Amino acid sequence: MVSITLTLSCLGAFAAMVTAVPVDDASSLAVFARAEATVFMCDDTRFRGRCRTDVIQTGSCYNVPADFVDRISSIRNNDRNRDNCIWYRERECRGESYRNQDDDNLADGNGRFNDAIRSYECRRK
């Protein structure tokens, strides 16, 4: 009888120690929501004309909506302090890329991206 009581007492004490051990947060399983970025684009320079704001998930490629293909003349990454966006001349984030985060006149400079953006992606810095 003494050995059963002693065994149960030891098991109880061991169980209490195991449940009281702190867990390192870095090793625990965590689920993180994907971050969002906000992109603003207009079909005229200086953010005029038809404009739209897209709220997207970072880390994914987005094709420009059909009614804005070959029409975008100004772009802005509204979350440029936190994210970097890349603009592409081809669908599916391929082809020549442009990394300016705020450009109210895509026609100035060499003008290569004026009325030419077809896709974009944003990533956390």
DSSP state of 19: H
| Confidence band of 5 (pLDDT split at 50, 70, 90) | low
Give tens-digit pLDDT for 6-53: 555 655 555 554 444 444 444 444 445 569 999 999 999 999 999 999
pTM: 0.71
For each of the domains in the chain, give its residue range(s) and CATH number, in order of start: 36-124 (2.60.20.10)
For residue 43, how many other CB atoms are within 10 A of its CB?
A: 17
Looking at the chain, the whole-number percentage of residues with pLDDT higher than 70 is 73
Residue 84, classified by CB atoms within 10 Å of its CB into exposed (0-12), middle (13-18) or buried (19+), is: middle
